[in-house]
Amino acid sequence: MKNLTVDSKKNCLLVDKAWMENLQKEAASASLDPGMYVLRIKSGSFSYGSGMGAEPFVLLWIYGGKFVNLKTNVETSATWSSLNGYDDTITLEVKETITVSALFLDVYEDDNSGEVTVSILDA
């Protein structure tokens, strides 16, 4: 068995305020009021370029108010998550209004293709 240890300081990519503001401006976003929600990929796929397979994947930045990701059972006001495949879900117990932003990261977007639809269901 191999282990991959990720250090909170040595392996942290720092982003500045302008980068985060741009992310929040460019990402597809939805506001969620207090309640229980299940997020999952409803349809679609994303490819980084020709010759690369398209996959159902999306990165999520969740922030703004208090909530619990039921996978971790930790109350927080901001977290990253991802949805990988049509069967993957994230369940959120929203205690204060939050924003869910969905996006892809890339260094060259001109050859990207596809889109992903994320369903946000009342739980």
SS3 36: strand
The pTM is what? Answer: 0.92
SS3 107: coil
Report pLDDT digits (tens) over 76-98.
Answer: 999 999 999 999 999 999 999 99
Whether 100 maps to a domain, the answer reads: yes
Q: Strand ranges (DSSP E) for the chain?
A: 28-32, 35-47, 57-69, 74-84, 89-94, 98-103, 113-122
Domain count across the chain: 1
Whether 4 maps to a domain, the answer reads: no
What CATH number did the domain enclosing 47 receive? 2.60.120.1030
Whether 94 maps to a domain, the answer reads: yes
Whether 104 maps to a domain, the answer reads: yes
Phi, psi of 63, rounded to the nearest 5 degrees: -160, 170
Report pLDDT digits (tens) over 8-37.
Answer: 999 999 999 999 999 999 999 999 999 999
Whether 59 maps to a domain, the answer reads: yes
Whether 1 maps to a domain, the answer reads: no
Determine the structural domain holding residue 78 and report its residue range.
17-122
Read off the amino acid at residue 44. Answer: G
Confidence of residue 51 (pLDDT cuts 50, 70, 90): confident
Map tokens 């739980």 to a residue: 123
Whether 8 maps to a domain, the answer reads: no
Taking CB atoms within 8 Å and a gap of at least 24, the contacts of 68-76 are 68/92, 68/93, 68/95
Read off the amino acid at residue 96. Answer: E
Whether 11 maps to a domain, the answer reads: no
At 22, list the tokens: 């741009």
